[in-house]
Chains A and B, each alone.
Chain A
């Protein structure tokens, strides 16, 4: 009996990160041209209204672009030939505390900061190959080239 309870607890604890990761981080509001969402190794269609979660990878092709409104009202978009990863997203709608790490592996990104950056400066970051940008507020643009 005790063994079974321990097993259930272990399984429940193992599922916790999966449950946390399945929470909505944002919603796609703008789609132009070729855009895909990669989630858990699978490619999903990026359509207006689609939900975005932590660990999702948004990819745009030539002429493609995508715009997302995050739960804390941060606005983020990616231009053509870009790869944008929602590396980490957490937001408490009561305290407005949270964390947003957006990874830009290539291409372009625009960001208009929301409630998280207002509440906790330093909690919103754009991470590119070799560089970490700390968003202390409002609007900026980022380009990654080789």
Chain B
């Protein structure tokens, strides 16, 4: 066998081996992360910091995006409402309803609602109907007329009134938790023994 023939064979073997190994072990896939910042329901835009092994950036405008591939530094770009809807439509649809809060007001020294608050109860019941597995936190307060202990009891009576009315209207009792804060957390700061209608209230937080 001539020397240059032998050389050709070696070259062919090396090329074949290289092709074989390259084929068998492609480079591992690089994980890719894309984040897109959007305006919230109220139109407000926050910010997201994005950090990979080789860099860090901050996006803080509507539909700004950042993409990282493997350890590479994030690359800032921009997206659109249409693109977001296409990629994240079903994800966004799965977001739970935002928690809401209501305040019911009461007559002085009693666990009776004001006429306006009687209407608010209907609004709350409509809202609850939209929410499967709602959690309802009911927190009672009083103004500063009367002794501390008296007001602790009165605030709890008010929450129990709300609980009873909700349960009577078909709300599951285990979904409701109550707490009385008495005159300890007034909405409007007053001196002791001051009658203040805005402090005679029950807060209702629904999640």
Interface residues of chain A, those whose CB is within 8 Å of chain B, are 27-30, 32, 48-49, 63, 65-69, 73, 75-80, 82, 108-110, 112-113, 117, 122, 126, 128-146
Contact = CB atoms under 8 A, between A and B. Distances in A.
Nearest to B58: A136
Label chain A's interface by main secondary structure.
strand
Nearest to A113: B46
B68 to A, nearest CB: 5
B90 A141 contact: no
Nearest to B60: A136
Given A112-B40, A129-B33, A139-B40, A77 B94 contact: yes
A27 B91 CA distance: 17
Interface residues of B, number: 47
Interface of B: 29-41, 44-53, 58, 60, 68, 70-71, 74, 84, 87-88, 90-99, 131-133, 135, 207
A141 B38 contact: yes
The 7 closest A-B pairs by CB, nearest first: A137-B46, A79-B91, A49-B133, A29-B96, A65-B94, A134-B49, A138-B46
A110 B47 CA distance: 14
B88 A130 contact: no
Given A29-B132, A65-B90, A140-B38, A145 B32 contact: yes
A131 B48 contact: no
Contact of A141 (B51, B60, B84): B84
Contact of A77 (B44, B50, B92, B135): B92
